[in-house]
């Protein structure tokens, strides 16, 4: 945030924005506000301002008859967890990774079209994108005509990205993608994004943001990550001095917690502190600018999600990883019209998002990687649709060189009639993690050592 | 560890016990039980009758609708029931299956009946049945596994999750277990599981240092005969019932004790509840559904109408996040979870008390069965009490704060 932006923020909201680069904090870090109020309460205790009357006091771990102890409330051993990732010392603390998941199995061949392949046009009599419509990238590949904003901005294509497991269930594939498990047999307990979020934690109100609601493998990390679809969900946390009841409730939330920073009680208190910080950073009453209006009008659900993500990124909430979703890609029938429409939404949402990031001076610090749980079979079915397939093409938008990574050969298919994987998806994931400054080996072990960018 | 202020010792003991042994706790129940000794309440809770073990055959238009109906039925049983429901949920978390990967309504109904009938039964019986359960074989890829090239998923999870725990077996054990478990098939049309000898491994096999002809029965028995299994499972059960995380040495002693009772579940549950009478009040987070049911009991909110809230809290039956079930640790106490819980606390619809003016600081705590609170929470409620809000609004706010308090988030 520039000094001018800082001043604007102060003038608009009457409070200082959260620091964009808070110093690295230990695992049980407190927000500055939390610390301050805990000192305040400690002061009251010392002066006897809080009276306990004649009440009994209870402590954890009293003596026990049966065992050497009752056991400890610290249950970190109770569930396996992944090792915490390692951040390189030269990591750029401003970078933000946005993962856009196209749910249902995107037909990558209709997104990045092999528009000079006779095989493609032979096999796709009803769903092919006409050669004349394609927005050319190279002599062989071009974008869907509705991806015009992204085409003029410049994109990186990852061709032939896919898995090495043989399972075309939506749920199983999505799970392995989210875990970063290329072969479907690894023992990761949390998603690869959750493993990224931990080392990026700088003590901000929120480090990881899932904009499509509860996202199972996203939320498993220790660092503050939150599933939040829009600012409305923060309603009860947004300050409004005119609403006395709300203020009383919020004051209570702010004062919950414990002097004992190791306790469960403190974890709850800190969560409220972070949420209240977010409430203060959220601009519910702001007029919608033209870029955002375009995202909302034309970007479908993804447009609204990325508009909200923009709000939080620009407000200095500390968001470093965003997981957004656009559904509707399971095009077993009548693919063309449905898919065209979704491509238009993707373009409006991601294009608009990048325009907002440019306007905020963050265009060079935000990377959007699009993926889907699997691609679709090259041969059409009889319903003018396509069935579940294997490898696919995908897109990256942001400050890396526009290029084609990997390759796709529509004439070279596997025994099930599916495109073969030329780029393992965990290479794409590890490359994204490395771009954030995370040591890939710390969250992927020996897997996916070949980096794409 | 935090020091808590006790409001009333007997109420505190009984409230803690009820929270641990049941999903729903309300003021009337507490009033009834608080005149009894702690030990007699434990006995009564264990004696309480269980609801039906077999879910009714519900007929939805589609299979998925039938599953929804069955889950609704189960949630109502959980809200109304006692220790059997609490323990069924424990087994569902440990021996978990996802409805999307379970071969549909009839198979899930069979599995749920098994978990319910053995909720306070015997773990050896339960596990033997469970590894041959159709939904489980679907979920962990046991269905159709061939000894010539077996799927290792079921064998690995059998040792990691259902018996020994990670670190207590080798990769060679995983390979051998996969072979010994191969051969099970699921007949979806007749809703049956059968054994296909052609897929099974018949030659002698080395498993955990013993050369022999291993099959599923022998394998499960061998794993259950290892005290590490008893220690691992009893330690998790102890933690689930609010007893804290035992040291390795204590877990082994508890495991030995449990093995001497032949894996009968009731004595272990009884001991966990009796031995922790004087333990610290808040040993672990309330899990999503525990918060949900307690919240419904306090506010009178309808369980099924509020089902979307349980979903938002991340815990609906047969929808675990992964094969290890739901997290059991501090991961529940994160900003995302507190966003939902705080919102529920703020937006509750109160049908149990009509005059909010009557909700004082103490009344709000009584309603939430909180009899041991931190100095900070005491201060928060005192401050809210001291505001000049309209009395009805103030009463409502006090109850919101009690529902949002850190203590109410913990078991």
The answer to whether B240 and B328 have CB atoms below 8 angstroms apart is yes
pLDDT of residue B10: 95
Closest residue in A to B283 (Cα–Cα) = A73
In angstroms, the CA A437 to CA A352 distance is 26
- Judgement on whether residues A438 and A312 belong to the same structural domain of the protein: yes
pLDDT of residue A188: 85
The answer to whether B334 and B354 have CB atoms below 8 angstroms apart is no
pLDDT of residue B200: 94
Two tokens, residue B407 = 């203590």
In angstroms, the CA B382 to CA B376 distance is 10
For the segment B128-156, the average pLDDT, to the nearest whole number, is 92
CB contact under 8 Å between B275 and A255, yes or no, is no
- Judgement on whether residues A209 and A337 belong to the same structural domain of the protein: yes
CB contact under 8 Å between B335 and A58, yes or no, is no
CB contact under 8 Å between A268 and B396, yes or no, is no
pLDDT of residue A171: 74
CB contact under 8 Å between B330 and A69, yes or no, is no
Contacts of B342 (CB under 8 A, 6+ apart): A236, A237, A253, A272, A275, B404
The answer to whether B410 and B285 have CB atoms below 8 angstroms apart is yes
Percentages of chain A per state (helix, strand, coil), in multiples of 5 = 35, 15, 50
Contacts of A421 (CB under 8 A, 6+ apart): A160, A161, A162, A163, A164, A390, A391
In angstroms, the CA A109 to CA A221 distance is 35
- Judgement on whether residues A130 and A261 belong to the same structural domain of the protein: no
CB contact under 8 Å between A258 and B2, yes or no, is yes
A28–B contact, CB cutoff 8 A: no
Two tokens, residue A20 = 């964009």
pLDDT of residue A63: 39
Residue of higher predicted confidence among B198 and A225: B198
- The SS3 call for residue B57 is coil
- Which of B166, B238, B346 lies at the smallest CB-CB distance from A80? B166
Residue with tokens 């750029």: A92
Closest residue in B to A259 (Cα–Cα) = B2
pLDDT of residue A173: 87
A176 pLDDT higher than 80: yes
For the segment A310-335, the average pLDDT, to the nearest whole number, is 90
Longest CA–CA span in chain A (Å) reads 87
B179 pLDDT higher than 90: yes
pLDDT bucket at A53, cuts 50 / 70 / 90: very low
DSSP state of A421: P
A49–B contact, CB cutoff 8 A: no
CB contact under 8 Å between A73 and B280, yes or no, is yes
Highest mean predicted confidence (pLDDT) among A268-282, B291-305, B329-343:
B291-305
Give the number of A-B residue pairs with CB atoms closer than 8 Å: 256
In angstroms, the CA B40 to CA B330 distance is 32
Kindly list the distances between the CA atom of residue A317 and the CA atoms of A21, A78, A253, A306, in Å, as whole numbers in the listed order. 10, 32, 19, 15
Kindly list the distances between the CA atom of residue A407 and the CA atoms of A80, A288, A380, A429, B39, in Å, as whole numbers in the listed order. 38, 41, 21, 18, 70
A264–B contact, CB cutoff 8 A: yes
Residue with tokens 């900003």: B335
Mean pLDDT of chain B: 94
For CA atoms A29, A35, A39, A41, the dihedral sign is negative
Closest residue in B to A48 (Cα–Cα) = B375
Q: What is the DSSP string of A376-399?
A: B-SS--TTS---B-S-EEEEEESS
C-alpha distance from A192 to closest chain B C-alpha (Å): 14
CB contact under 8 Å between A265 and B407, yes or no, is yes
Q: What confidence tens digit (pLDDT) does each residue in B312-351 have?
A: 888 999 998 778 888 888 878 878 789 899 999 999 887 7
Outline where B22-119 has alpha helix (H): 27-33, 38-47, 63-80, 83-94, 105-117
Proportion of chain A above pLDDT 90, given as a percent: 50
- Judgement on whether residues A273 and A206 belong to the same structural domain of the protein: no
- Judgement on whether residues A269 and A310 belong to the same structural domain of the protein: no
In angstroms, the CA A392 to CA A384 distance is 19
- Which of B9, B285, B327 lies at the smallest CB-CB distance from A56? B9
A44–B contact, CB cutoff 8 A: yes
In chain B, residues with a C-beta closer than 8 Å to the C-beta of A75 are 239, 245, 284, 328-330
Residue A403, in any domain of the structure: yes
In chain A, residues with a C-beta closer than 8 Å to the C-beta of B332 are none
Percentages of chain B per state (helix, strand, coil), in multiples of 5 = 55, 5, 35
Two tokens, residue A122 = 């032979």
Two tokens, residue B280 = 């610290």
C-alpha distance from B296 to closest chain A C-alpha (Å): 20
Q: What confidence tens digit (pLDDT) does each residue in B1-34 have?
A: 568 888 899 999 999 999 999 999 989 999 999 9
In angstroms, the CA B88 to CA B105 distance is 18
- Count: domains in chain A: 2
The answer to whether A31 and A270 have CB atoms below 8 angstroms apart is yes
The answer to whether B291 and B340 have CB atoms below 8 angstroms apart is no
For the segment B92-112, the average pLDDT, to the nearest whole number, is 96
Best of A65, A78, A251 to mutate (most B CBs within 10 Å, chain B) = A78
Among A251, A281, A311, which residue terminates a domain?
A281
The answer to whether B402 and B408 have CB atoms below 8 angstroms apart is yes
A164–B contact, CB cutoff 8 A: no
Closest residue in B to A232 (Cα–Cα) = B343
A51–B contact, CB cutoff 8 A: no
Chain mean position to CA A2: 25
CB contact under 8 Å between B338 and A65, yes or no, is no
- Which of B239, B383, B406 lies at the smallest CB-CB distance from A264? B406
- Judgement on whether residues A155 and A252 belong to the same structural domain of the protein: no
Residue in A187, A169, A195, A221 with CA at minimum distance from that of residue B324: A187
Mean pLDDT of chain A: 81
In angstroms, the CA B137 to CA B184 distance is 8
In chain A, residues with a C-beta closer than 8 Å to the C-beta of B152 are 185
- Which of B321, B343, B374 lies at the smallest CB-CB distance from A265? B374
pLDDT of residue B296: 95
Q: Residue A168's domain is classified under what CATH number?
A: 3.40.720.10
C-alpha distance from B142 to closest chain A C-alpha (Å): 14
DSSP E strand boundaries for A76-164: 96-102, 112-113, 135-136, 142-143, 156-162
In angstroms, the CA A382 to CA B210 distance is 56
A32 pLDDT higher than 60: no
In angstroms, the CA A438 to CA A86 distance is 6
pLDDT of residue A62: 40
Q: What is the residue extent of each domain of chain B? A: 5-27+285-409, 227-275
A217–B contact, CB cutoff 8 A: yes
CB contact under 8 Å between B98 and A217, yes or no, is no
The answer to whether B137 and B184 have CB atoms below 8 angstroms apart is yes
- Judgement on whether residues A181 and A250 belong to the same structural domain of the protein: no
The answer to whether A134 and A115 have CB atoms below 8 angstroms apart is yes
Which residue segment(s) compose the domain that A266 sits in? 239-281
In angstroms, the CA A101 to CA A213 distance is 13
C-alpha distance from B48 to closest chain A C-alpha (Å): 26
pLDDT of residue A172: 80
The answer to whether A392 and A401 have CB atoms below 8 angstroms apart is no
- Which of A52, A65, A171 lies at the smallest CB-CB distance from B101? A171
Q: What is the DSSP string of B141-208?
A: T-TT--TTS---HHHHHIIIIISS-TTSS-HHHHHHHHHHHTTEEEETTTTEEEE-GGGS--S-EEET
Contacts of A112 (CB under 8 A, 6+ apart): A137, A141, A142, A143, A144, A157, A159, A393, A394, A395
Best of B273, B291, B336 to mutate (most A CBs within 10 Å, chain A) = B336
- Judgement on whether residues A115 and A186 belong to the same structural domain of the protein: yes
- Which of A78, A233, A253 lies at the smallest CB-CB distance from B328? A78
DSSP state of A85: P
In chain A, residues with a C-beta closer than 8 Å to the C-beta of B284 are 73, 75, 264
- Judgement on whether residues A182 and A144 belong to the same structural domain of the protein: yes
The answer to whether A435 and A95 have CB atoms below 8 angstroms apart is yes
CB contact under 8 Å between A271 and B337, yes or no, is yes
Contacts of A376 (CB under 8 A, 6+ apart): A105, A106, A107, A108, A109, A331, A386, A387, A388, A389, A392
CB contact under 8 Å between B335 and A76, yes or no, is no
Q: What confidence tens digit (pLDDT) does each residue in A99-147 have?
A: 999 998 999 999 999 999 999 999 999 999 999 999 999 999 999 999 9
- Which of A57, A219, A245 lies at the smallest CB-CB distance from B4? A57
pLDDT of residue B254: 96
pLDDT of residue B1: 55
The 8 Å CB, 24+ separation contacts for A146-149 are A146/A340, A146/A343, A146/A344, A146/A347, A147/A111, A147/A343, A147/A346, A147/A347, A148/A347, A149/A347, A149/A348, A149/A350, A149/A351, A149/A352
Q: What confidence tens digit (pLDDT) does each residue in A368-401 have?
A: 999 999 999 999 988 899 988 999 999 999 999 9
Residue A69, in any domain of the structure: no
Closest residue in B to A76 (Cα–Cα) = B329
In chain B, residues with a C-beta closer than 8 Å to the C-beta of A70 are 243-244, 275-276, 279-280, 283
- Judgement on whether residues A226 and A250 belong to the same structural domain of the protein: no
- Which of B275, B333, B400 lies at the smallest CB-CB distance from A249? B400
A23: left (phi > 0), else alpha (psi -120 to 50), else beta?
Answer: beta
Residue A223, in any domain of the structure: yes
- Provide ipTM, 2 decimals: 0.94
CB contact under 8 Å between A237 and B342, yes or no, is yes
In angstroms, the CA A113 to CA A128 distance is 8
Contacts of B1 (CB under 8 A, 6+ apart): A59, A60, A61, A73, A260, A262, A263, B280
Residue with tokens 């259950």: B224
C-alpha distance from B50 to closest chain A C-alpha (Å): 29
C-alpha distance from B389 to closest chain A C-alpha (Å): 7
In angstroms, the CA A269 to CA A34 distance is 8
- Judgement on whether residues A267 and A338 belong to the same structural domain of the protein: no
Question: Please, what is the Cα angle at A95 between A89 and A101, to 5 degrees?
Answer: 125
pLDDT of residue A58: 65
Q: What confidence tens digit (pLDDT) does each residue in B58-79 have?
A: 778 899 999 999 999 999 999 9
Residue A249, in any domain of the structure: yes
The answer to whether A316 and A282 have CB atoms below 8 angstroms apart is no
Q: What confidence tens digit (pLDDT) does each residue in A217-265 have?
A: 776 556 667 777 666 778 888 888 889 999 999 999 999 988 777 788 9
Burial track B1-13 (b if 16+ CB lie within 10 A, e otherwise): bbbbbbbbeebbb
In chain B, residues with a C-beta closer than 8 Å to the C-beta of A274 are 335
- Judgement on whether residues A192 and A248 belong to the same structural domain of the protein: no
């Amino acid at each position: 945030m520039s000094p001018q932006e800082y001043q604007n923020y102060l003038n608009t909201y009457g409070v200082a924005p959260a620091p964009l680069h808070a110093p690295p904090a230990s695992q049980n870090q407190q927000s500055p506000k939390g610390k301050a109020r805990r000192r305040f309460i400690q002061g009251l205790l010392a002066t006897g301002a809080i009276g306990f009357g004649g009440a009994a006091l209870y402590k954890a771990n009293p003596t026990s008859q049966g065992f050497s102890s009752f056991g400890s409330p610290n249950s970190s051993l109770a569930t396996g967890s992944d090792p915490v990732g390692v951040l390189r010392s030269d990591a750029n603390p401003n970078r933000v990774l946005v993962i856009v998941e196209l749910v249902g199995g995107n037909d990558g061949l209709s997104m990045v079209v092999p528009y000079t392949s006779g095989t493609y046009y032979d096999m796709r009599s009803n769903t092919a994108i006409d050669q004349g419509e394609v927005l050319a990238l190279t002599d062989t590949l071009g974008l869907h005509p509705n991806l015009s904003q992204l085409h003029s901005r410049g994109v990186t294509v990852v061709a032939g990205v896919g898995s090495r497991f043989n399972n075309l269930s939506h749920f199983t594939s999505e799970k392995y993608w989210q875990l970063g498990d290329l072969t479907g047999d690894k023992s990761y307990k949390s998603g690869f994004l959750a493993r990224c979020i931990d080392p990026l934690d700088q003590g901000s109100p929120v480090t990881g943001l899932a904009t499509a609601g509860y996202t199972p493998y996203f939320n498993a990390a220790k660092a503050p990550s939150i599933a939040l679809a829009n600012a409305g969900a923060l309603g009860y946390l947004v300050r409004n001095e005119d609403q006395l009841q709300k203020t009383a409730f919020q004051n209570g939330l702010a004062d919950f917690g414990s002097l004992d920073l190791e306790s469960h009680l403190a974890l709850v208190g800190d969560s409220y502190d972070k949420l209240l910080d977010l409430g203060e950073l959220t601009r519910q009453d702001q007029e919608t600018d033209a870029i955002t209006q375009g995202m909302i009008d034309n970007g479908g659900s993804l447009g609204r999600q990325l508009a909200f993500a923009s709000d939080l990124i620009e407000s200095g909430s500390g968001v470093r990883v965003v997981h957004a979703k656009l559904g509707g890609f399971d095009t077993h029938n009548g693919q063309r019209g449905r898919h065209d429409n979704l491509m238009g939404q993707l373009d409006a949402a991601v294009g608009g998002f990048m325009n907002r990031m440019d306007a905020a001076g963050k265009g060079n610090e935000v990377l959007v990687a699009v993926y889907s749980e699997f691609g679709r079979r090259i041969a059409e079915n009889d319903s003018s649709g396509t069935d579940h397939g294997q490898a696919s093409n995908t897109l990256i938008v942001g400050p890396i060189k526009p290029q084609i990574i990997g390759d796709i050969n529509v004439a070279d298919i596997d025994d099930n009639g599916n495109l073969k994987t030329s780029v393992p998806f965990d290479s794409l994931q590890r490359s994204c993690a490395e771009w954030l400054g995370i040591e890939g080996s710390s969250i992927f072990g020996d897997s996916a050592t070949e980096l794409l960018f | 560890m935090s020091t808590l202020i006790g409001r009333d010792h007997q109420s505190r003991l009984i409230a803690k016990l009820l929270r641990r042994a049941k999903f729903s706790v309300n003021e009337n129940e507490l009033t009834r039980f608080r005149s009894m000794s702690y030990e007699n309440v434990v006995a009564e809770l264990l004696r309480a009758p269980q609801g039906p073990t077999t879910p009714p055959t519900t007929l939805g238009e589609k299979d998925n609708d039938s599953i929804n109906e069955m889950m609704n039925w189960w949630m109502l049983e959980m809200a109304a029931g006692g220790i059997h429901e609490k323990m069924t949920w424990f087994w569902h978390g440990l021996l978990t299956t996802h409805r999307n990967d379970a071969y549909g309504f009839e198979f899930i109904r069979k599995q749920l009946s098994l978990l319910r009938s053995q909720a306070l039964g015997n773990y050896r019986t339960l596990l033997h049945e469970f590894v041959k359960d159709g939904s489980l074989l679907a979920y962990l890829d046991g269905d159709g596994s061939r000894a010539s090239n077996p799927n290792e998923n079921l064998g690995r999870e059998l040792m990691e999750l259902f018996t020994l725990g990670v670190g207590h077996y080798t990769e060679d054990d995983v390979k051998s277990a996969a072979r010994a478990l191969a051969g099970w098939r699921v007949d979806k049309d007749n809703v049956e599981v059968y054994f296909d000898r052609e897929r099974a491994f018949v030659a002698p096999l080395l498993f955990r240092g013993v050369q022999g002809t291993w099959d599923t029965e022998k394998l499960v028995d061998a794993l259950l005969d290892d005290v590490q299994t008893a220690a691992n499972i009893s330690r998790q059960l102890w933690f689930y019932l609010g007893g804290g995380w035992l040291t390795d040495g204590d877990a082994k002693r508890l495991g030995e004790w449990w093995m001497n009772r032949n894996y009968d579940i009731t004595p272990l549950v009884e001991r966990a509840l009796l031995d922790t009478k004087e333990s610290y009040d808040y040993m672990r987070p309330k899990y999503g559904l525990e918060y949900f049911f307690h919240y419904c009991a306090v506010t009178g909110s309808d369980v099924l109408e509020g089902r979307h809230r349980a979903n938002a809290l991340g815990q609906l039956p047969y929808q675990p996040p992964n094969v290890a079930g739901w997290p059991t640790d501090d991961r529940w106490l994160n900003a995302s979870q507190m966003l939902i819980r705080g919102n529920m606390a703020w937006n509750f619809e109160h049908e149990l008390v009509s005059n909010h003016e009557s909700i004082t600081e103490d009344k709000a705590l009584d309603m939430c069965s909180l009899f041991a609170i931190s100095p900070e929470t005491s201060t928060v409620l005192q401050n809210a009490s001291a505001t000049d809000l309209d009395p009805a609004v103030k009463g409502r706010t006090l109850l919101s704060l009690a529902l949002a308090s850190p203590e109410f988030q913990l078991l």
